[in-house]
Amino acid sequence: MTILTGSGVGIQFGERWLYQDVAFKLEKGRVLALIGDNGVGKTTLLRAILGQLELTAGELDWQIDAKNRMISYVPQYRPDMQAFPLKVTDFVSLSFDKGILPWLKAAEKERLQHVLADTHLTKIANARIDTASGGERQRAYLAQALVQNPNVLILDEATANLDNVAKYELMNVVRDYRDHHDLTTIMVSHDLDIIGKYADDYLLLTPNGSEFGPIDQLDMTKLKVGNQDHA
Ligand SMILES: Nc1ncnc2c1ncn2[C@@H]1O[C@H](COP(=O)(O)OP(=O)(O)OP(=O)(O)O)[C@@H](O)[C@H]1O
């Protein structure tokens, strides 16, 4: 089932078109890799998908109406940004309407426990997040996104700045969660290993035309990127 269809998408700032005639489909339960050179406009397209920016041309046609649509977002890991004096479990439950644990409904508490288990955080649920490793903190951000039960998960260079073990652990959690919950994901990444291993489809943005297709049709030599995300 197609969740979102982009057709004739174009974005222009001033005189400059970032891209025109972009076409893609986001299919339920699949991982779409959004790729292209630095500055091509990947984040800008995400902002349009999140409803924060109007397209200059074309359409984003959703199959889920706006009031039932939940899009969750996992940002890039930044070692300097996460000095919260909160337990992991409280940090994850900040996503719920009422925040920290004693006020959560029974169903929310149960959901929280499932997501902590799915993201391999149960053992450190009561440890403080500022003592957790980079990989654990990034999985806590993922857990925060997943407790919202999203229709679409956005990973915005979410494996950047993580070591090899942590980045594959994060993506394995996403894949296992997808396999059990039919989660749909858009992943922005410059990491060719991660893209090749975890994406199902790709959308390559360039100023001279976009390409969309199954990941095994992507010619990786077209990408000017290395195998690491940039900060
Ligand atoms: N509101 C805006 N007004 C004018 N220009 C903008 C605006 N937002 C973004 N841009 C420009 O659009 C271009 C694309 O930016 P964007 O952040 O989407 O690129 P990106 O592909 O996500 O880059 P990176 O891989 O480096 O994160 C940049 O040149 C940016 O300066």
Contact 185, 31 (CB under 8 A): yes
Instruction: Establish if 145 belongs to a structural domain.
Output: no
Instruction: Establish if 84 belongs to a structural domain.
Output: no
- Tokens 């969750």 map to which residue? 72
Residue 105: pLDDT band with limits 50, 70, 90 = confident
Largest CA distance in the chain: 54
Write out the two tokens for 84. 């919260």
Q: What is the ipTM of this complex?
A: 0.95
- Residues 116-146 have pLDDT tens digits of 999 999 999 999 998 899 999 999 999 999 9
What's 196's domain CATH number? 3.40.50.300
Instruction: Establish if 119 belongs to a structural domain.
Output: no
CA 122: distance to chain centroid? Answer: 22
Write out the two tokens for 145. 């996104």
- Please state the domain count of the chain: 1
Q: Say which residue, 224 or 56, is predicted with more confidence.
A: 56
Instruction: Establish if 78 belongs to a structural domain.
Output: no
Instruction: Establish if 90 belongs to a structural domain.
Output: no
In angstroms, what is the span from residue 41 Cα to ligand 1's centroid? 5
Angle between helices 164-181 and 134-146 (to 10 degrees): 20
In angstroms, what is the span from residue 122 Cα to ligand 1's centroid? 38
Instruction: Establish if 16 belongs to a structural domain.
Output: yes
Q: How many CA atoms lie within 13 A of 55 on its CB side?
A: 20
Look up residue 199 and give its DSSP letter. -
Instruction: Establish if 112 belongs to a structural domain.
Output: no
Instruction: Establish if 117 belongs to a structural domain.
Output: no
For ligand 1, say whether the CB of 44 is within 6 Å of any of its atoms: yes
In angstroms, what is the span from residue 36 Cα to ligand 1's centroid? 12
Which of 9, 13, 54, 204, when mutated, tests ligand 1's pocket best, judged by the most ligand atoms within 8 Å of its CB?
A: 13
pTM for the whole structure: 0.91
Closest residue (by CA) to atom 28 of ligand 1? Answer: 39
Residue 78: pLDDT band with limits 50, 70, 90 = confident
Q: What is the extent of the structural domain holding 55?
A: 1-69+151-161+182-216
From CA 141, how far away is CA 100, in angstroms rounded? 15
In angstroms, what is the span from residue 18 Cα to ligand 1's centroid? 8
Tell which atom from ligand 1 comes closest to the C-alpha of 157.
27
145-171 per-residue burial string, b: 16 or more CB within 10 A, e: under 16: bbbbebbbbbbbbbbbbbeeebbbbbb
For ligand 1, say whether the CB of 43 is within 6 Å of any of its atoms: yes
- Tokens 């992991």 map to which residue? 88
Tell which atom from ligand 1 comes closest to the C-alpha of 46.
18
